[in-house]
Amino acid sequence: MPPFLPHALLTLLLLLPLTSAPLWAESGSLPITRYKLKNGLTLVVSEDHQSPTFGLSVVYGVGFRLEPRGRTGFAHLFEHMMFEGTPTAPKGTFDRVVEGGGGVLNGSTRYDYTNYISTAPVSALEPVLWLEADRMRHLDFSRKNLDNQRKVVKEEIRVNVKNRPYGLFFWTDLAALAFDKWENAHDGYGSFEDLDRATIEEVKQFHDTYYVPNNAVIAVVGDVDPEQVYRWVERYFGDIPPGKVPPRPDVSEPLNTKERFRRETDRHARVPALAVGWKMPPPDDPDYFALAVLANLLLDGDASLFHQKLVKEEQTLLEVSGGLNWPLGDALTNGGPSLLVAFGLYKPGKPARYSVERMQQVIDDLARNGPDATRLAAVKTKMKADFYKRIARFIKRADYLAVTQLLWGDAAMTNRYPERIDAVTPTDIRRVAARYLTRENRSWIDRQVTGKEKMQ
């Protein structure tokens, strides 16, 4: 508290209830305190005393794009190994401590990062930070656990891909079709053959290479004191030696110059589906946020242009969903080339191409005439509101702060998201629709049902 504060005001502040107004109310943005340790580890803390809990995200700068060739799915398999214990804290300790602390935990692998997230009452924060430091330092590199998690990951792939209609083809197959570089095109879940080939030595090497403090960001959100969090992080992570992170390969790709198309058959599906992807520029491109807004204008909710055109007017699609960097993330959680994806189930009567061409008509109209200003304003309002809804949860807020710090070099990017959205004009929408959402830059898949089961 500043020393010049008049007495009357000071008394007033002391009388405020314990549920004091959050710092959000003062500035309309998240308070961000940042620290950098000597070993290169970055810590981001954002206080919010609305709930006596914390959200924590530990993010490492490695994902699908950087996994070794011939080892598709390795980054994700490795993520599983992070939950398998260390020489000091055996398998099961992490879950016991987080859950016994009243919390939940998870991890996920994405193109450009892997995150380890947890949330719990604040009394559990110190032991959880200790455990995060412990698994950054070392793992129990056990063959038995690797074999066990290899099996678990295969079941994960069966339940999400191999045994289910559509099997995430709008992610894996569409990326494989649209992109040329292996880093962007390969299946992040991985083939069973590649998973089988992964060795414990490779697990160790991956940990040594990428799971180092100078390749990580920690974000803590909630009912905490930033200085206290810093002291804990300094105490538990401070002596972990930095590593030599290999330079990032160039994963950039030009836009495609010719339409790409693939027909697939789905042995589990009863209704055919289609997925369209347009290649997007990297996040630092000046057109990027205009494309994020365009994606929502086309695809978010019942008011969206694709819903109105294809589900309501043409009635050729049963539903339509998608977005920028969909389904694995959004505009902020992407560090390289991505796709703007539209996915839908189509009804009998009209071929898939008919719906895809109607989508293109909607886009061409935007490219010629731009969006209606009122509509654009509503889309932007909805995007900002949706963002607030997501960061309402401490765990999600921590994750955004950590991921933006890692990918954008600045956690304050999370705070700037609303203004980036606001800055997009109808002219921007026209320009980016014309430039990126073209037939030439379009890749799409017609996913048909197998003959025998086909019903019309």
Partner 1 sequence: MKTMNRQRLCSAFLASILWLTTPADAADTVPGLPAYGPDKPLPLPEVSRERLPNGLELWLIRRAGLPLLSVRLAIRGGTAADDPGRQGISELLADTLASGTERHDARQIAEILQAAGAELAASAGDDGITLAVTGLTEGAREMLATLAEVALTPTFPEPEVKLAVTNKLQELLAEENDPDFMTSRVFYRTLFGDHPYHYSHPDKAAVAAVDAESLRRLHRQRFHPERALLVMVGDLPEQQMRKLASAYFGSWRSGKTTLSEIPDAPLQPASHRLQLVARKGSVQSTIRAGRPLPPADHPDYPALTVANTIFGGSFGSRLTRNIREEKGYTYSPRSSISRLAHGGLFSVQASVRNEVTAAALVEIFYELDRLATTLPTSEELQRAQRYRKGIFLLRNETAASLAGTLSAYWLKGLDIEDLRQQVSRIEAVTAEQVRQVAARYLTSRQQAVVVTGDAEAVRPQLEPLLPVEEARP
Rounded Cα–Cα distance for residues 445 and 264 (Å): 7
Which of these, 407, 425, 401, 406, lies nearest to 287 by C-alpha position?
425
How near is the Cβ of 196 to partner 1 at its closest, in Å?
14
- Residue ranges in 392-451 that form contacts with partner 1 under rule CB under 8 A: 392-394
Cβ proximity to partner 1, 260 vs 384, nearer residue: 384
Residues 292-351 that bind partner 1 (CB under 8 A): 301-303, 308, 311-312, 315, 318-319, 345, 347
Residue 130 vs 261, nearer CB to partner 1: 130
Shortest distance, position 52 Cβ to partner 1, whole Å: 4
Q: Is residue 327 reached through a cis peptide bond, with omega within 30 degrees of 0 on the bond before it?
A: yes
What distance in Å separates the CA atoms of residue 60 and residue 117, rounded to the nearest whole number?
Answer: 12
Smallest separation, CB 249 to partner 1 (Å)? 31
Query: What's the burial of 92, exposed, middle or buried (CB within 10 Å: 0-12/13-18/19+)?
Result: exposed
Restricting to residues 137-196, name those near partner 1 by CB under 8 A: 147-156, 158-159, 162-165
CA neighbor of 431 nearest in space, from 229, 293, 263, 237? 293
Span from 108-116, 249-257, 269-277, 426-434 in contact with partner 1 (CB under 8 A): 269-277
Write out the binding residues for partner 1, residues 196-215 only, by CB under 8 A. Answer: none
365 binds partner 1 (CB under 8 A): no
Kindly tell me which residue out of 57, 114, 115, 119 binds partner 1, with binding defined by CB under 8 A.
119
For partner 1, which is the closer residue by CB, 375 or 431? 375
71-100: which residues touch partner 1 (CB under 8 A)? 88-93, 95-97, 99-100
Q: Which is nearer to partner 1, 132 or 253 (CB)?
A: 132
User: Given the complex with partner 1, which of 248 and 384 has the nearer CB atom?
Assistant: 384
Size, binding site for partner 1 by CB under 8 A:
90
Between CA 78 and CA 69 the distance in angstroms is: 15
The whole-angstrom separation of Cα 131 and Cα 127 is: 6
The answer to whether residue 124 forms part of the interface with partner 1 (CB under 8 A) is yes
Q: Write down the least CB distance from residue 312 to partner 1, Å.
A: 7
Distance of closest approach, residue 286 Cβ to partner 1, in angstroms: 26
Per CB under 8 A, which of residues 213..252 are in contact with partner 1?
Answer: 223
Q: Assess contact for 276 and 444: CB atoms under 8 A.
A: yes
What residues numbered 48-67 form the site for partner 1, per CB under 8 A? 48, 50-53
E-strand ranges in 166-213 read none
Is 106 or 361 the residue whose CB approaches partner 1 more closely?
A: 106
Of the two residues 313 and 440, which places its CB atom closer to partner 1 in the complex? 313
Each residue of 369-388: b (16+ CB within 10 Å) or e? ebbeeeebeebbebbeeebe
- Supply 327's token pair: 């389904």
Nearer to partner 1, 12 or 385 (CB): 385
Residue 24 within binding range of partner 1, rule CB under 8 A:
yes
Q: Which is nearer to partner 1, 392 or 440 (CB)?
A: 392
Strand partners for 164 = none
Q: Are 118 and 56 in contact (CB under 8 A)?
A: yes
When binding is defined by CB under 8 A, the residue of 181, 248, 382, 431 that contacts partner 1 is: 382
* Angle of CA points 156, 109, 101, to nearest 5°: 85
Select from 32, 37, 269, 437 the one that contacts partner 1 (CB under 8 A): 269
* 8 Å CB contact between 35 and 210: no
Residue 158 to residue 46: CA distance in whole angstroms:
39
CB of 378 to partner 1, least distance (A): 4
